[in-house]
Structure 1
């Protein structure tokens, strides 16, 4: 057993296009299709809404560029978990990984599966009683795909990313060239008592950009990760920022801010059907379904790598099994199954979307620590030649830190109970750490 384990390692064959597709595909889920009205409602005007998308994208870009330098110096499987362990210690690394593999990752997969099942049921007119089986079946099928060599999951990411961009491009092109509404000067009437303000609007866009860091979990499977990971993260975020701005402007140009407010989450489906007819609405629905499946694939491909990396360090119960790599596929099959099992339980028994929201607070706390870590790495290794250096240092990481602190403070004020629950999830990992890492290694 030990002999075969020494021979098997993760397959380092993911290139720039695969990594880039994972960044774009994991970020663009359903948010861009359903959050247009929410951002405009909070911002109060079309111009402010576009500025909110821009500000959220620039903050995300600052975060991505900062992590890109960290990734170029720590190109390890596990992403944020590996960075926290290297920059601080095993304790902080463990807690960041614990939150991601036990709750955050599975909850995001489960929430995507649940939302997808509703769309599929509506599209094919299937009774709602089948929603849970559809969600479980989708998670299961995407999970099977990722048990095969990672090139299959990567190829699927490329295909779904291309497919999901088709309806997005259609909305952009039609809005830019055929829309007649005044896209920039409109304000939304009657929102002075309910609008959350520019800060809340920007917070909503930050959540729509989330997922950019997950490709870093595949550090041990990316070709030349010191260069490829920074390129994929930075180019991917810039591409998504451009897409989000163009979609928002295209929507505003098509029907205007007031109509977006009136329609709510139905704004983009309304545009698709009014501009392209019933067929257009169907194509948009298919595009959103593909978008969610692609986003799910990225998360199923990346989160189990954190579990595998932690198991490799013997930090989890059943670490020997969770660290198993299949000799033929060279994928962490047991870790994939474990994450999918947790996600499946969440689909059946809890509100997975709410669970993923609960972890936002602690995830952004770890983000802040990771961004501060770039200063620690530069201080520890002043003469090290870096494959990638964050531009405009130290301004860029400071912007990333301030952006994350904005999310943290907003969560404390808007959802104090959720913050307490989030901290409780972290606290549950502390006895596991002391038993698995400290006690067993005495």
Structure 2
């Protein structure tokens, strides 16, 4: 729904240089990383029918679309860098916003960058036949390169992202074609697979978890909203276009896996994309898909670095982290200090090998932030009901409510499945409370002219 008189669009220190195709590429690239090349095997192992498997992926896409539509309204209302941090700060106050930044910008974003950069390096070594001792240097080099590109501004980062989004869509198209070719009897026969167990209703709920995780990452565009041209029109369209493309790709890729490997074969596979390619092209197929997955993960890292740095910059400009990190270079209009800090922290996590534990520990926190972010839609509708909104989520309040309820169920299921990780996630969030008050105390002393101890 488009209002005739949109509210003024704040500019801030950033320059609006991203068009609709750049923005849609950010959505696609932020969601499609390495998950779709591995996750379908886990989902297939928890289902006992082809129809059930496809329905789960379609349902996951619809549920995620509910979140995307809600984020579209939030982005149109507040088209500023920082995304969820901005919405939480305005709706619920600085403490919830800080806890989001504490968990995401300082832990989850760098942890995911480190993990995906390592996955990129793993596939590069596999494709080129390099020893595993090259993994860490390649991962560090990838992060350093992407940070340097983004230091030149959002336009340079967008060029890299657009190229790798096209490449990852090409890889997915290749998988779909290979699956169809195999479905018509070409290539080597699939190896025998064990029979699938009967699926219980609880197993189906569990199977939805990895599906939803594979659809995660759509929030990165809102982190970069301060650099989108005509954001009140472009943001909703790019979010819808990008997420629609992702859902279509995911369903078609799963159909290709089923056509080429069979349901039981997919469930038994450790690397379904590689197994699918190997059936038609032999060992060369595995090399080709390794290159493709490396391109996909490289593109994701570029988006995560750009988006995470904007959240860290806005949080620091708010006085919630070192003020120097909140600076934006007036020549490149890039948060150069925040980019460097985020990249350096991700490199430290790679060298220490601690990123896997961090990601496990912050999964619940990440999904809590999604639920809290969407919940601000209700606050805006109630408290600022007279504020003109150029886009309103259709089906309100049921669409955002469906997403929030789904996310709460995901959190509960995750807590039941891995209580230790869920407990650590909540502990990390709770530790942010004393840090917040300590930081506020430090800032108040600085404002009063008292040097920090």
* Aligned equivalent of 1:280: 285
Residue-by-residue CA offset, 1:44-67 (whole Å, 9 max, x unaligned): 222211111111111111111112
Superposition deviation, residue 175 in structure 1: 2.5
Counterparts of 1:252 and 1:306 in 2: how far apart (Å)? Answer: 40
Q: 1:158 aligns with which of 144, 162, 167?
A: 162
Spell out the pairing of 1:220-235 with structure 2 (5 A cutoff).
220-235=226-241
Superposition deviation, residue 252 in structure 1: 0.7
1:248 paired with 2:254, answer yes
Q: 2:153 aligns with which of 112, 125, 149?
A: 149
Runs of at least 4 residues off by over 6 Å:
193-196
1:51 paired with 2:55, answer yes
* Aligned equivalent of 2:306: 301
* Aligned equivalent of 1:118: 122
1:205 paired with 2:208, answer no
Superposition deviation, residue 194 in structure 1: 10
Counterparts of 1:114 and 1:196 in 2: how far apart (Å)? Answer: 33
* Aligned equivalent of 1:22: 26
1:353 paired with 2:356, answer yes
* Aligned equivalent of 2:325: 322
8 A contact 2:196–2:264 mirrored in 1: no
Counterparts of 2:300 and 2:105 in 1: how far apart (Å)? Answer: 17
The count of corresponding residues between Structure 1 and Structure 2 is 428
Residue-by-residue CA offset, 1:183-239 (whole Å, 9 max, x unaligned): xxxx97243499971111111010001110111111211112222222222221111
Spell out the pairing of 1:157-196 with structure 2 (5 A cutoff).
157-176=161-180, 179-180=183-184, 189-192=195-198
1:418 paired with 2:401, answer no
Gaps of 5+ in 2: 1-10, 186-192, 446-453
Change (3 A) 1:406 1:430: same
Superposition deviation, residue 380 in structure 1: 1.2
Counterparts of 2:284 and 2:351 in 1: how far apart (Å)? Answer: 33
Q: Which secondary structure does the structure 1 equivalent of 2:270 belong to?
A: helix
* Aligned equivalent of 2:223: 217
8 A contact 1:35–1:265 mirrored in 2: no
TM (norm. structure 2) is 0.90
Change (3 A) 1:8 1:377: closer
Counterparts of 1:132 and 1:174 in 2: how far apart (Å)? Answer: 32
Superposition deviation, residue 143 in structure 1: 1.3
Counterparts of 1:208 and 1:389 in 2: how far apart (Å)? Answer: 26
Counterparts of 1:199 and 1:130 in 2: how far apart (Å)? Answer: 39
Q: 2:386 aligns with which of 359, 378, 383?
A: 383
1:269 paired with 2:274, answer yes
Counterparts of 1:351 and 1:245 in 2: how far apart (Å)? Answer: 33
Superposition deviation, residue 265 in structure 1: 2.4
* Aligned equivalent of 2:431: 428
8 A contact 1:41–1:188 mirrored in 2: no
Structural RMSD (CA): 2.1
8 A contact 1:43–1:52 mirrored in 2: no
Superposition deviation, residue 24 in structure 1: 0.1
8 A contact 2:119–2:294 mirrored in 1: no
